[in-house]
């Protein structure tokens, strides 16, 4: 282990045994978000963290959680990490496994689509940390298989994405059921208005670890757009894939389109996999793991893969369809050029997408350049600027974003069940109104 690693992480207050685990995991120096979030996290302060995707936010909260839990009693779950997707939950579990082993800390994952009985068996092993998606966590809380009477640290990871996915009612119930005396760390890649309500509800006098302004494209990404017709998309995709060396991540707007593109790539002999919420959990894990290990050159996915997933050396991100929400553009292209690497991103823009592109460019504060060989954009593309969706109006492809301020978004599967309002007990059905 280098003295540089020891001095840099050690200077943040990280113990020597965890510094050694960090070195073995290839974490040689703290990223900016880690340098800002770890010290107050180790002190037991609440933290509000915001940084670009791919900047090491997971370690920024896992490190202080492991250090603080290692110094406390064993036998009950004392740490909870909430994530929006199963894939991100399993990835966080991997980080906990790597870093926690040296400190005698271990965790278990509870997500939808997995065997409930197997999860109960894992919980009986009395893990120190539970990594969960909101819906399945509520399932266990209602069945009494998870109690948080000893909980001391909570992490809300990719909090903005959880609100986008309609988890506001579930988050209401979960947070209300947690002990009042706890440390909470909230991490997000963007800071939309409805996130302020969640922060006020869950955080107490937080330290703000803000590394970059919301919706900032990573420096190493070269991104551009192709103005084309819908009928030209697939042929252009195949052309780009032939010219690209390395892994390619293709984003579509719908599950059906992802499946269709996957079938097309299979017919032309391209090594590819498909990832979306309609696939069974083993299929999703096999697709992601195969892409991560290089067995698949191309991964075709919906926005389930746009947040937090750590896959090294993605060479090119292709937006076959533009996202519905402009912030998701930043998250998608942030899958390449992670951790100061370089990468490329190409978006296909049809006549139907000009309004969405204007909203993306308004968010970025500048135009996205045309790719070489692209036809010129229509003159109306830059004529007007549309308001961002979901911020006090109903404009935009998805209307108002689900959040605490207006109560929008689908209610959770257990939102009408009765419960107890006790610290660490079962969640109460009523939701806060902000």
Q: Which of 429, 409, 410, 411 is nearest to 419 (CA)?
A: 429
Are 246 and 305 found together in one domain?
A: yes
Residue 39 neighbours by CB under 8 Å, 6+ apart: 12, 13
pLDDT digits (tens, 9 = 90+) for 141-184: 999 999 999 999 999 999 988 998 889 999 999 999 999 999 99
Dihedral sign of CA atoms 259, 164, 218, 80 in order: negative
What CA–CA distance (Å, rounded) separates 227 from 138?
45
What residue spans of 106-220 are helical by DSSP H? 116-123, 134-143, 159-164, 168-177, 193-202
Asked if residue 216 is part of any domain, the answer here is no
Predicted confidence (pLDDT) at residue 432 exceeds the cutoff of 60: no
**Domain boundary, last residue among 210, 232, 257:** 210
As for how many domains the chain has, the answer is 2
pLDDT of residue 424: 54
Last-in-domain residue among 175, 210, 245: 210
What pLDDT score was predicted for residue 193?
80
Residues 69 and 176 occupy one common structural domain? yes
Residue 399 domain-assigned (yes or no): no
Single out the residue in 366, 382, 398 at which a domain terminates.
382
The predicted model scores a pTM of 0.75
Residues 103 and 242 in one domain: no
- Do 206 and 229 have their domain in common? no
For CA atoms 172, 177, 179, 180, give the dihedral sign: positive
How far apart are alpha carbons 1 and 225 in whole angstroms?
44
- Give how far the C-alpha of residue 6 lies from the chain's centroid of Cα atoms, to the nearest Å: 29
pLDDT reported for residue 190: 80
373 and 262: one domain?
yes
- Tell me, yes or no, whether 238 lies in a domain: yes
Whether the per-residue pLDDT at 393 is higher than 70: the answer is no
Alpha helix positions (H), 274-345: 281-292, 326-333
- Residue 388 in domain: no
Q: What is the pLDDT of residue 312?
A: 79
* pLDDT tens string 271-314: 999 999 899 888 998 999 999 899 999 999 998 777 767 787 89
Q: Which residue, among 224, 217, 226, 252, has the nearest Cα to 337 in the 3D structure? A: 217
pLDDT at 52 over 90: no
The residue among 224, 222, 221 whose CA lies nearest residue 236 is 224
Smallest CA-to-CA distance from 57 within 175, 201, 209, 215 is with 209
- Contacts for 388 with CB less than 8 Å, ≥ 6 apart: 326, 359, 362, 363, 396
Residue 276 lies in a domain: yes
Least confident window among 21-25, 145-149, 373-377, 381-385:
381-385
Helices (H), 277-325: 281-292
Does residue 429 register a pLDDT over 70?
no
**Could you tell me if 151 and 176 lie in one domain?**
yes
Coil/strand/helix, residue 186: strand
Q: pLDDT, tens digit, for every residue of 213-224?
A: 666 787 789 999
Q: 273 pairs with which residues across the strands?
A: 299
Look at 75 and 304; give whichever has higher pLDDT.
75
Do both 62 and 10 map to the same domain? yes
Mean pLDDT, the chain, integer: 85
Q: Which domain holds residue 133?
A: 3-210
Tell whether 149 and 279 lie within a shared domain.
Answer: no
Residue 417 domain-assigned?
no
Spatial separation of the C-alpha atoms in residues 431 and 434, rounded to whole Å: 10
Q: What is the structure's pLDDT at 192?
A: 80
Overall average pLDDT of the 191-196 stretch: 84
- Quote the pLDDT of residue 142: 95
Are both 67 and 176 inside the same structural domain? yes
Same domain, 16 and 165: yes
Check pLDDT > 50 for residue 411. no
Q: Closest Cα partner for 60 from 38, 83, 29, 27?
A: 38
User: Do 247 and 269 sit in the same domain of this protein?
Assistant: yes
CA distance 211 to 33: 6
The reply to whether 187 and 233 lie within a common domain is no
- Name the band, by pLDDT with cuts 50, 70 and 90, for residue 341: confident
Residue 140, classed as helix, strand or coil, is helix
Where b means 16+ CB within 10 Å and e means fewer, 105-128 reads bebbbbbbebeeeebeebbeeebb
> Rounded mean pLDDT of 319-335?
90
Instruction: Answer whether residue 385 shows pLDDT above 90.
Output: no
pLDDT at res. 416: 36
Position 330 scores a pLDDT of 87
> Does position 246 have pLDDT exceeding 70, yes or no?
yes
Residues 14-43 as b/e (b if ≥16 CB within 10 A, e otherwise) read bbeebbebbbeeebeebbbbbbbbbbbbbe
pLDDT score at 427: 54
Q: Which pLDDT value is given to residue 339? A: 66
pLDDT band at 131 (very low <50, low <70, confident <90, very high): very high
In DSSP notation, 212-248 reads S-SS---TTEEEEEEE--GGGHHHHHHHHHHH--SEE
User: For residues 319 and 313, what is the distance between their CA atoms, to the nearest angstrom?
Assistant: 18
Between the alpha carbon of residue 157 and those of residues 49, 59, 112, 171, 245, the distances in Å are: 10, 11, 17, 12, 32
Residue at 69 is within a domain: yes
Share of the chain above pLDDT 70, in %: 83
Instruction: Map residue 156 onto helix, strand or coil.
Output: strand
Look at residue 434 in the predicted model and tell me its pLDDT.
24
Q: Is residue 414 part of a domain?
A: no
**Domain CATH code at residue 295:** 3.40.50.300
């Amino acid at each position: 282990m280098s003295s540089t690693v020891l001095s840099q992480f050690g200077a943040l207050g990280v113990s020597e045994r965890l510094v050694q685990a960090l070195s073995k995991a290839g974490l040689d120096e703290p990223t900016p978000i880690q340098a800002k979030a770890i010290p107050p996290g180790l002190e037991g302060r609440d933290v509000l963290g915001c940084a670009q995707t791919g900047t090491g936010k997971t370690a920024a909260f896992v490190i202080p959680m492991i250090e603080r839990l290692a110094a406390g009693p064993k036998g009950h779950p004392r740490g909870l990490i909430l994530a929006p997707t199963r894939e991100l939950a399993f990835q966080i579990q991997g980080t906990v496994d790597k870093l926690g082993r040296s400190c005698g800390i271990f965790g278990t994952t509870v997500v939808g689509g997995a065997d409930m009985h197997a999860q109960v068996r894992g919980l009986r092993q009395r893990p120190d940390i539970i990594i969960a998606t909101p819906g399945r966590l509520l399932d266990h809380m209602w069945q009494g298989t998870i109690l948080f009477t000893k909980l001391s640290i909570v992490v809300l990871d990719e909090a903005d994405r959880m609100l986008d996915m309609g988890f506001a009612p579930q988050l209401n119930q979960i947070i209300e059921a947690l002990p009042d005396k706890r440390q909470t760390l909230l991490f997000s890649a963007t800071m939309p208005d409805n996130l302020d309500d969640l922060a006020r509800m869950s955080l107490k006098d937080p330290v703000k670890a803000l590394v970059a302004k919301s919706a900032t494209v990573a420096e190493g990404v070269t991104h551009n757009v192709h103005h084309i017709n819908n009928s030209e998309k697939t042929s252009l995709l195949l052309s780009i894939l032939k010219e690209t060396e390395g892994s390619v991540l293709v984003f579509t707007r719908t599950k059906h389109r992802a499946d269709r593109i996957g079938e097309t790539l299979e017919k032309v002999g391209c090594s590819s996999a498909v990832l979306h919420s309609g696939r069974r959990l083993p299929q999703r894990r096999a697709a992601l793991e195969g892409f991560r290990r290089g067995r698949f050159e191309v991964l075709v996915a919906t926005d389930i893969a746009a947040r937090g997933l750590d896959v090294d050396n993605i060479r090119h991100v292709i937006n076959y369809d533009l996202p519905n929400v402009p912030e998701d553009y930043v998250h998608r292209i942030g899958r390449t050029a992670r951790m100061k690497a370089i990468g490329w991103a190409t978006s296909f823009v049809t006549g139907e997408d000009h309004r969405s592109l204007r909203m993306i460019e308004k968010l970025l504060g500048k135009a996205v350049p045309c790719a070489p060989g692209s036809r010129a954009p229509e003159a109306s593309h830059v004529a007007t600027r549309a308001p961002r969706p979901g911020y006090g109006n109903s404009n935009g492809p998805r209307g108002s974003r689900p959040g605490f301020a207006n109560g929008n978004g689908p209610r959770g599967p257990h939102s009408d069940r009765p419960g107890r309002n006790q610290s660490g007990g079962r969640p109460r059905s009523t939701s806060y109104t902000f």
